[in-house]
Amino acid sequence: MRTALLQSSGRPGSVVENLKVLDEAAARAAAAGAGLLAAPELFLTGYAIGDAVGRLAEPADGAGAAAVAGIAARHGLAIAYGYPERAGGAVHNSAQLISADGTRLANYRKTHLFGSFEQAHFTPGDRPVVQAELNGRTVGLLICYDVEFPESVRAHALAGTDLLVVPTALMHPYQFVAESLVPVRAFENQMYIAYVNRVGPEGEFEFAGLSTLAGPDGVARGRAGGTAELVLADADPDLLAASREANPYLRDRRPGLYRSLV
């Protein structure tokens, strides 16, 4: 499945402008044959927006989701994007996957909150594995810091995730996560990982870019630099099947030895 990674910070604080950026990227991605467009963490609203997070948060089926569903249906491709989700009295750092016909397929709430900003504004989720079927493949969702915990990605591997989509807000000086850790996670868990980052200065943060689609062989099939761009790369099911056949990590596990870890 051809996958498009939208490396952009949009316009923090403006849902309307960010939807325009998403619409334009969807048109370009669809024209290039992509079946999935992935946008960064909290793309709908912006990341470094302080207390506006609570004001702009909305339910998973709110107006923002409806607008994204319209973009997906209009251009005929699935979209995964980050947004602040309001659920009762809580606000979650969430990511949602919407199908090419505008159907909401999956909604994930970030389970590992990074730093004082996220811990002050969000409630962590409690479902480690959220998946959906898309174009015959099993797509899973994590958000940014989650992928740095090996347990999170291994849980997806054991649940059969083929393509793990990770909307991200990776900051300097942690570039090694995008450059080294993500390809290793893809290799050790035998899956594709679409890691799509914000880029440039935003409030007190400087986002690193370097979005990548990493394959099960540990090779980046597509890699962005340090500017806003749309990266296209293929998640090849034949390569995935061959790699899983050749790589014994999951078959050679001995779970009985690992109980002390939890």
pLDDT, tens digit (0-9, with 9 covering 90-100), for 14-59: 999 999 999 999 999 999 999 999 999 999 999 999 999 999 999 9
pLDDT the model gives residue 188:
98
Does residue 20 have an active-site annotation?
no
pLDDT at residue 118 is higher than 90? yes
Instruction: Identify the band that residue 64 occupies on the pLDDT scale cut at 50, 70 and 90.
Output: very high
Which of 58, 110, 118, 202 is catalytic? The answer is 110
For range 219-242, the mean pLDDT? 97
Which residues, other chains included, contact 173 with Cβ-Cβ below 8 Å and sequence gap of 6+?
Answer: none
pLDDT the model gives residue 259:
85
Output the DSSP codes for 30-62: HHTT-SEEE--TTTTT-SS-TTHHHHH-B-TTS
Q: Please give the share of the chain, as a percent, with pLDDT higher than 90.
A: 98
For the domain that residue 223 is a member of, what is the CATH number? 3.60.110.10
Instruction: Identify the band that residue 260 occupies on the pLDDT scale cut at 50, 70 and 90.
Output: confident
CA distance from start to end of the chain: 36
Q: Could you tell me the residue range of the domain that residue 218 belongs to?
A: 2-261
Cα separation, 117 vs 167, in Å, equals 17
Looking at residue 248, the DSSP 8-state letter turns out to be -
Q: Please give the share of the chain, as a percent, with pLDDT higher than 70.
A: 100
Q: What's the residue count for the chain? A: 262
For range 168-180, the mean pLDDT? 97
Which of 58, 85, 144, 202 is catalytic? The answer is 144
pLDDT the model gives residue 150:
97
Which residues, other chains included, contact 95 with Cβ-Cβ below 8 Å and sequence gap of 6+?
Answer: 41, 80, 81, 82, 83, 107, 108, 110, 141, 142, 143, 165, 167
pLDDT the model gives residue 261:
75
User: pLDDT for 186-229, tens place per residue?
Assistant: 999 999 999 999 999 999 999 999 999 999 999 999 999 999 99
Which of 41, 58, 118, 202 is catalytic? The answer is 41
Q: How many domains does the structure of the chain reveal?
A: 1
For range 95-105, the mean pLDDT? 98
